[in-house]
Structure 1
């Protein structure tokens, strides 16, 4: 039986795909830190439809 802890990290900003502010720094650092603690980490970024500019 696999006792490895698993984590799904969901963020609207994931480097190098999207970077508009400081959230991308956390979305890069936190999963790496959890992997260093032997977590099985997956990262997901939601897909949004482009917004129309008014």
Structure 2
């Protein structure tokens, strides 16, 4: 269930980031931290923000 919520949040924030031009990682870190914990959220966010 957490993976589904994280995927939906990542998609929504990617759309917002595409429109605004920035801020995807800043907004995604609190969501990932709440869903997955800090030890998992930081490496996962690093991987998702790679070009």
Q: TM-score, structure 1 length as denominator?
A: 0.37
Question: Going by fraction, where is strand more abundant, 1 or 2?
Answer: 1
User: Which is higher, the Rg of structure 1 or of structure 2?
Assistant: 1
Question: Going by fraction, where is helix more abundant, 1 or 2?
Answer: 2
Highest RCO, 1 vs 2 (Cα 8 Å, sep ≥ 6): 1
Q: TM-score, structure 2 length as denominator?
A: 0.38
